[in-house]
Amino acid sequence: MRTLLIAALLLICLAPRAANAQSFQLPIDCAVGEVCVVQNYADANPSADEGDDPQCGPLAYDGHDGLDFRAPAAMARRGVNVLAPAAGVVLGVRDGEPERAFLDRGAAAVADRECGNGVRVDHGGGWVTQLCHLRAGSLRVARGARVSAGQALGLVGLSGQTEFPHVHLTMFRNEQKIDPLTGGALSDLRCGPQGANAGAHWSAAARQALAYRGARLFSMGFTGAAPAANARVEDLPANAAVNAPALVFWALVSGPRDGDVLRVRLYGPDGALVAEGERIQPRDQAQASMFAGRRTPAGGWSAGSYRGAAELLRDGRVVQMRSETIQVR
């Protein structure tokens, strides 16, 4: 009897701890809703040809089955950790998929490897998560490894089918893929003005961070290059200087709605307005960008502190405003 009891205790100790109510943490080491954002939710209108987010907005796409936690590109280049959402055992790992394959060569380059570099973790109690698009060579765990909640598994990257740095979270319960946000069946999702609340399987802190925020000023910066019409703003060189070809301030907004206004202004060291730009959204979009800048005058720019200011307006009301400064030398 004593031998059987000891064996039973060993089995209990060695089994993965079940991820019970209020246990899952966010899978990214970044302040979601402040610095990082949920760029895409699971498609809440599965019967339509276009995806809807929980409030029938553009933060989803047709057939999307998880949550995309996006990091600003400049921050991701420095390194943003992907974290284990809960304790568990690693079921599988893939590494070595190149960065930017989808961006540079299209869907054929990532066929059957759309997840890119990733990790799958068994949390016990029927819960399994899969994390995708990690940076090549950054994974820190192997199959069979035991991980704790919040443990760093690798870095946010651009592997697999992605156009921006993020970690994609897919969630399973009892071998069925579910909506990571609510914990409900993907086929049951419907969007509406009330939005959707994070389920009880998330921690209290995660539920607060996952509150729906809609359109947000996501990232901004300065460049010394005159951007092309379809430039990816986060890929613009950070090379502003007194003798660069131009001085440009840019801002990127996530999830703008039809009729929203994105306004940007660039101010010189003396506080005078150097340039301004404005964009009125023609439709709901996953993201949109705007520039304000000028070509460099003869003799170059005056050295000093330049300030860029961005505003997101809806129905004439400022929804959000942010500013950033740069020392131009």
* Chain segment 17-27, per-residue pLDDT in tens: 444 544 899 99
Q: Could you state, in order of their start, the residue ranges of all structural domains in the chain?
A: 19-209, 216-328
Nearest alpha carbon to residue 292 among 226, 213, 216, 207: 226
Question: 132 is written with which tokens?
Answer: 């995708």
Q: Which of 78-87, 121-130, 226-235 has the lowest mean pLDDT?
A: 226-235
pLDDT given at position 194: 84
Mean of pLDDT values over 203-211: 96
Give the confidence band of 304 by pLDDT, cuts at 50, 70, 90. Answer: very high
Q: Give residue 324's pLDDT band: very low, low, confident or very high (50, 70, 90).
A: very high
Q: Residue range 208-226: average pLDDT?
A: 96
| 3 state SS of 3 | helix
DSSP secondary structure string, 202-213? Answer: B-HHHHHHTS--
pLDDT tens digits for range 97-134: 999 999 999 999 999 999 999 999 999 999 999 999 99
Sign of the four-CA dihedral 234, 235, 240, 244:
negative
Largest CA distance in the chain: 91
In contact, 256 and 214? CB cutoff 8 Å: no
Q: Provide mean pLDDT across the span 221-244.
A: 94
The pLDDT value recorded for residue 6 is: 35
Task: Give residues with Cβ within 8 angstroms of 144, minimum separation 6.
Answer: 89, 90
pLDDT at 150 over 90: yes
Whether 135 shows a pLDDT value over 80: the answer reads: yes
Q: Indicate whether 42 pLDDT > 90.
A: yes
Fold matches, 19-209 and 216-328: no
Q: Cβ neighbours of residue 288 under 8 Å, at least 6 residues apart?
A: 252, 253, 256, 262, 279, 281
- Chain position carrying tokens 């540079």: 104
pLDDT at 1 over 50: no
Q: Does domain 19-209 have CATH number 2.70.70.10?
A: yes
CA dist 189 and 273 (Å) reads 47
Give the confidence band of 230 by pLDDT, cuts at 50, 70, 90: confident
Query: Who wins on pLDDT, 9 or 244?
Result: 244
Asked whether 36 and 28 are in contact (CB, 8 A), the reply is yes
Segment 153-157 mean pLDDT? 98
pLDDT at 303: 98
Which fold is adopted by the domain 216-328?
Answer: Immunoglobulin-like (2.60.40)
